[in-house]
Chain A
């Protein structure tokens, strides 16, 4: 079992959610996050005073899936979230030791 974390542009929230639902991926957790990578901040002005905003709002998706589904899901995320400009985001994959479904008490791949 693997955990896939994807940080994508905030405006890609709906697009990515729809693409995952279309591929029958139902379980996900979505956070609002702030951060930076290669994309630097931008300038805002309050009453003429310059502010440098160098952490940028993004959206983070977290999914748990079976090992064999990782590549497929990563491809879906990339296709939905890519714009080609700096700031598209990043995906990483981690191993998961155990997954339990709370309602039934199931362990392992069937709980995913």
Chain B
């Protein structure tokens, strides 16, 4: 049933119920990703910090949920599209929603919409949630909970919302249209922005007390796998729903999602086998997530064989970043938000410039592999550079503001860090009845 199906006697177009349903379900799938990330990060953290690590993800759901309705949605997707950098102030508190619901109830699709546009509010909210949650991974074990909350609240409105507009705002948007960079489901908006922010903050915060001296082991590997599984499942909505229609391209996005993640997992396990002798569950979980990240900017733009290649390439790159760059440069990206999401997102953006099928491209420009023309690749790289600069500058400003609000330090004091953040920040024990040494 096509979106141009005409039922009403007045000759007006109806909403495509298949796409409406699909987008509603994708919304729910993307929401699942943030609790999934909580388990993924929680399992990787030390036992004494597991509540803090998980609450930072769960708490983000609450924080972003509130702020998105109040202002996030309007700043990202409001306005009339005339501003290249930001949406508008016309949808604060989502006040226009009621009228949109009442109009949609009549069943007629206005302005060429495939489904009632209010679905996008919650769908994009879920994207904002997972983005903010990813940032928390770099700071595990030493950031003040209040400071993290304040930072992410400001960050959502000042960095994420404008960035989403710049990439996905349609005609006139700075990165998506003027620069011409493609980002199917958020490799740039979600992963590069959050991974980079994690890196910047972890450099500002400094390393954990025992970094380089104490070995940090994941305290609950099954949680890591559980989290990876939930992320995986939710990601089908993340990439599939970014087509905004229930059609063959959505199917392609989903196919590419599973292909790249499977390739990412296999690739990571192979590297482990070669370099350290044995494949691990944490490695499999990390590899599949890296594969999911790398295909995100190109999920609906590339052929399945290209998704395979992207997945196979991302694992060695991220493995190298996590095992070599981190130790060499000494930055404590505790749970590898930058190593996995930042680097995976950058790689995916660049590879999309190689493998984007011209007929599927939103700008009409295809990848180098198909056209022999570097202009898309250049746009991709330029888009990434612009994103990095914007995020870097704004992050430093926000961090300075939050630092001042929190007595000059984003970081907990040494005694609290040694005691563990669960006890010092939350007064809560994760496993009160379990005995055993960490």
Contacts and interface: CB of A to CB of B under 8 A. Distances in A.
Interface string A48-79: 11111101000000000000000000000000
A47 B275 contact: no
Contacts of A34: 437
Contacts of B271: 48
Contacts of A92: none
A53 to B, nearest CB: 7
A46 interface: yes
B217 A47 contact: no
B121 to A, nearest CB: 37
B322 A47 contact: yes
Interface residues on B, range: 20 to 34
Interface in B256-298: 271-272, 275-276, 278, 280, 282-283, 286
B215 A47 contact: no
B326 interface: yes
B323 A47 contact: yes
B331 interface: no
Nearest to B280: A45
B436 interface: yes
Interface residues of A, number: 13
Nearest to A51: B215
B236 interface: no
A51 B437 CA distance: 17
Nearest to A53: B215
Main secondary structure of the interface of B (DSSP, over half): helix
A83 interface: no
Contact of B217 (A32, A44, A48): A44
Contacts of A48: 271-272, 275-276, 319-320, 322-324
B107 interface: no
B21 to A, nearest CB: 39
Nearest to A49: B323
Nearest to B435: A32
A71 to B, nearest CB: 33
Nearest to A31: B435
B327 interface: yes
Contact of B282 (A46, A52, A55): A46
B183 interface: no
Interface in A12-52: 32, 34, 44-52
A46 B43 CA distance: 12
A13 B298 CA distance: 54
Contacts of B276: 45, 48, 50
Which among A44, A48, A51, A53 has the highest number of chain B CB atoms within 10 Å? A48
A45 B273 CA distance: 11
A51 B323 CA distance: 12
Given A52-B215, A53-B215, A47 B282 contact: yes
B218 interface: yes
Contacts of A46: 216-218, 280, 282
A32 B435 CA distance: 9
Contacts of A32: 435-436
Interface string B70-81: 000000000000
B49 to A, nearest CB: 16
A44 B435 CA distance: 23
Contact of A51 (B217, B286, B326): B217
28 contacts: A34-B437, A44-B215, A44-B217, A45-B272, A45-B278, A45-B280, A46-B216, A46-B218, A46-B280, A47-B286, A47-B319, A47-B322, A47-B336, A47-B339, A48-B275, A48-B276, A48-B319, A48-B320, A48-B322, A49-B322, A49-B323, A49-B326, A49-B327, A50-B276, A51-B215, A51-B217, A52-B215, A53-B215
Closest 8 CB pairs of A and B: A48-B323, A51-B215, A45-B276, A47-B322, A34-B437, A48-B319, A49-B323, A47-B286
Given A46-B282, A55-B437, 11 more contacts: A32-B435, A34-B437, A47-B339, A48-B271, A48-B272, A48-B323, A48-B324, A49-B322, A50-B276, A51-B217, A52-B215
Interface of B: 215-218, 271-272, 275-276, 278, 280, 282-283, 286, 319-320, 322-324, 326-327, 336, 339, 435-437
Interface of A: 32, 34, 44-53, 55
